[in-house]
Amino acid sequence: MGIDISWARNELAHFLGLTELYRKPDPPGVVSFSSRLSNRGSQADIAASAHVVEQILDRVLPGWRTEVDKSKNGEVNRWVQHREAAQRADAALLRDAEVRSRLGDDAPQLSAGSMHPWVWDGARALWGSGHLREAVTAAARKVNAEAQNKIGRRDVGETKLFQRVFSLDAPKADQPRLRLLEDDGSDTFRSVHRGAMAFAEGCYAAIRDPNSHEDGLPELPEHEALEQLAAFSLLARWVHAATVLTV
């Protein structure tokens, strides 16, 4: 999963301790028949812990906000959904390595949190709410915007933008280039930039465009959405590391 499991489990345990439900004892001489339950911790402490726990849940159980029942939040306690999600996440963290090893599936796994910040920052909110296809689209927009910022142009974007910045032509006054390697006249230099141009075109033509413009498409499976994010993450790393070449 690419996270510190011991730390994450400690944070989850702390949150579960704070949100444990109990019935406050009646004051001396008073008998109450209320079934109202309270949390062990103060709401301020719970909120502070929840800020960290929600980020752990987004990593371990990306769909928890929609997949874990929240109907009892209003009936029982506002933290019921968080508690169930935290319990599931703790079990997942505890057993993940063992289960994958026992089932013969201990190959490396993709982690959205380890992708380029442009991609995960763009996708995080929508991913957490279960809108995976829209999350990929948001990541694509973020990479496009950062590439525009890097070369100082807003008049061209996406496929045309990357066709121009990775072009092998010399830069012009209004058309800077991005260089992944120094131009030594080699076939490697030419193939790297032709490949980067083609890769970027594929990302936007085959991933971003259908996700944005085709109505009625089913939601992406999580593994496929992660693969699409990974494609944009690689493109983001190339753009981030590239040197801007101007006249």
Q: Cα dist. 226→110, 112, 192 in Å?
A: 7, 7, 25
Helix residue ranges per DSSP H, 76-172: 80-102, 117-128, 132-151, 158-165
How many helices (DSSP H) and strands (DSSP E) are in the chain? Answer: 11, 4
In percent, the amount of the chain with pLDDT more than 70 equals 93
Residue 23 banded pLDDT, cuts 50, 70, 90: confident
pLDDT digits (tens, 9 = 90+) for 210-240: 988 767 789 899 889 999 999 999 999 999 9
Residue 104 banded pLDDT, cuts 50, 70, 90: low
Q: How far apart are CA 41 and CA 78, in angstroms?
A: 13
Longest Cα separation, the chain = 92
Q: At what angle do helices 222-241 and 187-202 cross, to 10 degrees?
A: 140
Q: How far apart are CA 78 and CA 104, in angstroms?
A: 40
Contact in structure between 133 and 222 (CB atoms under 8 Å): no
Q: How far apart are CA 55 and CA 226, in angstroms?
A: 17
DSSP 244: E
pLDDT digits (tens, 9 = 90+) for 135-148: 999 999 999 999 99
Q: What is the pTM of this model?
A: 0.65
Q: How far apart are CA 198 and CA 142, in angstroms?
A: 19
Q: For the chain, what is the mean pLDDT?
A: 90
Contact in structure between 171 and 247 (CB atoms under 8 Å): yes
- Residue 123, judged by CB atoms within 10 A of its CB (0-12, 13-18, 19+), counts as buried
Region for 73 from its dihedrals, namely left if φ exceeds 0, alpha if ψ lies in -120 to 50, beta otherwise:
alpha
Return the C-alpha torsion angle 94, 105, 199, 156, nearest 10.
-20
Q: How far apart are CA 119 and CA 114, in angstroms?
A: 10
Pick from 226, 221, 222, 3: which is nearest to 93 by CA?
3
Residue 30 banded pLDDT, cuts 50, 70, 90: low
